Amino acid sequence: MKTPRQMKKENLVFLAEQLQHLLYLEPDDTWNPGKKWDAETLSDIGDIMHRFGLVPEKKFSPFAPKAAGPAKKARRR
């Protein structure tokens, strides 16, 4: 899974435009801040995230402690 920080600025802008159009642009090309969303909207958001590589490949916790590597020796001064 890619993170947004790994994306190029142009791709982030395009992603934001895609989401903005999905969430607020009506079929008649008018902007509507009160546009109604439904389950299909959520599915479409998931599809957009997938196209940009922002969907995890497997279930994991971002808060799980990372595996400890070998202990480092303290430097003497």
**pLDDT tens digits for range 36-48:** 999 999 999 999 9
For residue 64, the model assigns a pLDDT of 76
Name the phi and psi angles at 8, rounded to 5: -70, 150
Q: Are 35 and 43 in contact (CB under 8 A)?
A: no
For residue 44, the model assigns a pLDDT of 98
Name the phi and psi angles at 31, rounded to 5: -85, 135
Tell me whether residue 17 is in a domain.
yes
Query: Mean pLDDT over all residues of the chain?
Result: 89
Task: Please give the sequence-ordered ranges of beta strands (E in DSSP) within the chain, or none if there are none.
Answer: none
Tell me whether residue 71 is in a domain.
no
Tell me whether residue 8 is in a domain.
yes
For residue 67, the model assigns a pLDDT of 64
- pTM of this prediction? 0.72
Tell me whether residue 46 is in a domain.
yes
Tell me whether residue 39 is in a domain.
yes
Domain that holds residue 35: 4-51
Domain count, the chain: 1
